[in-house]
């Protein structure tokens, strides 16, 4: 598969000290309490996003696991300001052969987070809602420019349309999990960017938003790295694998109307998904305020802003 830039963000500590606010690309800042299950995933020299899917489990991207995440920050909408809780990562596991299959990974936390976990979209929810043109929410702590440069400490969100629900049309789609293991969405200047990797894609249902996707990478387009649309792993396709790996039971969304039963969701067969539609000192939770800011700054070494490329082949 063509080499693509994944959406990991490596920041200097000065980016967090500056507190610069800039208007995900084409999105808007998230108000406090809007997406409490969206978390920042911090390594010594990189940052991703993630979603709390069990009291002590975070779902993120597989390529984010390779940065060796050390802690997550829960309940913050601005990493440069007071608020939120830092929790150490106890274990980090990437999906087997994630470069050639599902680009996801799970973090088991040192203890439960205070936020309510997000329900993963069930197969019937996917069947009802994952259609071309349907709007989904992309949320994350990533950069907000098409060029993928500058700084950002705030959580942003945007509404983007689903383009290819089966992910068979773009060369960035992973053939081994197609059709149905991934989907593409966004474009026309509204998109995920570096630092949004592993973050959530939410779909609206009658019972509230459910987690339908995980931010993985950009589409195979020539030009600026962000703004052209992205490839997202279907959360329901890997739900069973998550449960087996973490020994946790995940909440699943209810159907808006009667539909077929659940698929296996172990990620072992893409046709199954298609048919069903460095530092570990911070082992205790750290409260908001200046102390949390110091922890975050300590985790992000003083390195220049850069991108981390990978080849999903």
Q: For position 23, what pLDDT does the model report?
A: 33
Print the domain residue range for 47: 10-20+37-117+278-305
Give the whole-number percent of the chain exceeding pLDDT 70.
66
CA distances from 18 to 4, 11, 286 (A): 30, 12, 22
CATH number assigned to the domain comprising residue 53: 2.40.10.10
Instruction: Spell out the residues 6+ positions from residue 33 whose beta carbon is closer than 8 angstroms to its own.
Output: none
Kindly give the pairing relationship between strand 57-60 and strand 71-74: unpaired
What CA–CA distance (Å, rounded) separates 117 from 251?
8
Q: What is the pLDDT of residues 8-48, one digit of tens each?
A: 444 433 333 333 232 355 567 778 888 999 999 999 888 89
Closest CA to 136 of 220, 64, 53, 234: 234
What CA–CA distance (Å, rounded) separates 128 from 135?
13
What CA–CA distance (Å, rounded) separates 129 from 299?
39
The answer on 113 and 86 residing in a single domain is: yes
What CA–CA distance (Å, rounded) separates 204 from 93?
29
The answer on 257 and 168 residing in a single domain is: yes
Task: Report if residue 25 sits inside a domain.
Answer: no
Task: Report if residue 237 sits inside a domain.
Answer: yes
**What's the mean pLDDT in 156-171?**
90
- On average, the pLDDT of the chain sits at 76
Q: What is the pLDDT of residues 208-221, one digit of tens each?
A: 999 999 999 877 66
The answer on 140 and 254 residing in a single domain is: yes
Q: For position 229, what pLDDT does the model report?
A: 80
Task: Report if residue 266 sits inside a domain.
Answer: yes
Residue 1 reports pLDDT greater than 70: no
For residues 102 and 290, which has the higher predicted lDDT (pLDDT)? Answer: 102
For residues 291 and 163, which has the higher predicted lDDT (pLDDT)? Answer: 163
Query: Does the bond joining 179 to the residue before it have cis omega, within 30 degrees of 0?
Result: yes
What CA–CA distance (Å, rounded) separates 191 from 80?
23
The answer on 257 and 136 residing in a single domain is: yes
The answer on 162 and 242 residing in a single domain is: yes
The answer on 298 and 167 residing in a single domain is: no
Kindly give the pairing relationship between strand 182-185 and strand 85-94: unpaired
Residue 102 reports pLDDT greater than 70: yes
Q: Could you write out the three-class secondary structure of the chain?
A: CCCEEEEEEECCHHHHHHCCCCCCECCEECCCCCCCCEEEEECCCCEEEEEEEECCEEEECHHHHCCCCCEEEECCCECCCCCCEEEEEEEEEECCCHHHCCCCEEEEECCCCCCCCCCECCHHHHHHHCCCCCEEEEEECCCCCCCCCCCCCECEEEEEEEEECCCCCCCCCCHHHCCCCEEEECECCEECCCCCCCCEEEECCCCCCEEEEEEEEECCCCCCCCCCCEEEEEHHHHHHHHHHHHCCCCCECCCCCCCCCCCCCCCCCHHHHHHCCCCCCCCCCECCCHHHHHHHHHHCCCCCCEEEEECCC
The answer on 195 and 151 residing in a single domain is: yes
- Burial class of 14 by CB neighbour count within 10 A (0 to 12, 13 to 18, 19+): middle
Confidence of residue 81 (pLDDT cuts 50, 70, 90): confident
Confidence of residue 195 (pLDDT cuts 50, 70, 90): confident
The answer on 61 and 173 residing in a single domain is: no
The answer on 283 and 168 residing in a single domain is: no
The answer on 199 and 129 residing in a single domain is: yes
**From 33-47, 167-181, 228-242, 275-289, the region with the lowest mean pLDDT:** 275-289
The answer on 196 and 154 residing in a single domain is: yes
Backbone dihedral angles phi then psi of residue 235, each to the nearest 5 degrees: -65, -35
For residues 92 and 152, which has the higher predicted lDDT (pLDDT)? Answer: 92
Task: Report if residue 2 sits inside a domain.
Answer: no
Task: Report if residue 190 sits inside a domain.
Answer: yes
Task: Report if residue 28 sits inside a domain.
Answer: no
Q: What is the pLDDT of residues 249-275, one digit of tens each?
A: 999 999 877 654 445 566 655 544 544
Task: Report if residue 259 sits inside a domain.
Answer: yes
Domain count, the chain: 2
Which pair of structure tokens corresponds to residue 201?
A: 């894609």
Q: For position 307, what pLDDT does the model report?
A: 26
The answer on 206 and 189 residing in a single domain is: yes
Q: What is the pLDDT of residues 104-124, one digit of tens each?
A: 999 999 999 999 999 999 989
Task: Report if residue 242 sits inside a domain.
Answer: yes
Confidence of residue 141 (pLDDT cuts 50, 70, 90): confident
- HSE-CB at 74 with a 13 A cutoff on CA atoms is 28
């Amino acid at each position: 598969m063509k080499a693509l830039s994944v959406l990991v963000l490596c920041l200097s500590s000065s980016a967090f000290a500056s507190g610069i606010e800039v208007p995900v690309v084409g999105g808007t800042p998230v108000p406090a309490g809007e997406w409490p299950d969206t978390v920042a995933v911090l390594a010594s020299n990189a940052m991703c996003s993630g979603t709390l899917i069990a009291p002590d489990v975070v779902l993120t991207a597989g390529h984010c696991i390779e940065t060796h995440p050390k802690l997550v920050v829960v309940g913050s909408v601005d990493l440069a300001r007071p608020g939120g809780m830092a929790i150490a990562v106890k274990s980090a596991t990437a999906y087997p052969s994630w470069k050639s299959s599902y680009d996801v990974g799970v973090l088991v936390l040192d203890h439960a987070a205070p936020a309510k976990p997000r329900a993963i979209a069930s197969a019937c929810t996917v069947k009802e809602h994952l259609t071309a043109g349907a709007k989904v929410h992309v949320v994350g702590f990533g950069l907000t420019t098409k060029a993928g440069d500058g700084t950002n400490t705030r959580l942003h969100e945007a509404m983007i349309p689903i383009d290819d629900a089966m992910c068979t049309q773009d060369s960035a789609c992973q053939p081994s999990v197609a059709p149905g293991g991934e989907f593409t969405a966004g474009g026309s200047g509204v998109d995920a960017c570096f630092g949004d990797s592993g973050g959530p894609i939410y779909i609206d249902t009658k019972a509230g938003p459910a987690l339908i996707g995980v931010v993985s990478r950009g589409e195979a387009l020539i030009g600026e790295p962000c703004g052209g649309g992205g490839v997202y792993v279907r959360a329901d396709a890997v739900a069973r694998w998550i449960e087996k790996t973490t020994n946790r039971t995940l909440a699943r969304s209810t159907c808006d109307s009667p539909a077929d039963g659940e698929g296996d969701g172990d990620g072992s067969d893409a046709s199954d998904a298609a048919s069903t539609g460095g530092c570990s000192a911070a082992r205790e939770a750290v409260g908001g305020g200046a102390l949390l800011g110091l922890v975050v700054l300590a985790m992000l070494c003083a390195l220049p802003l850069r991108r981390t490329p990978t080849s999903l082949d």
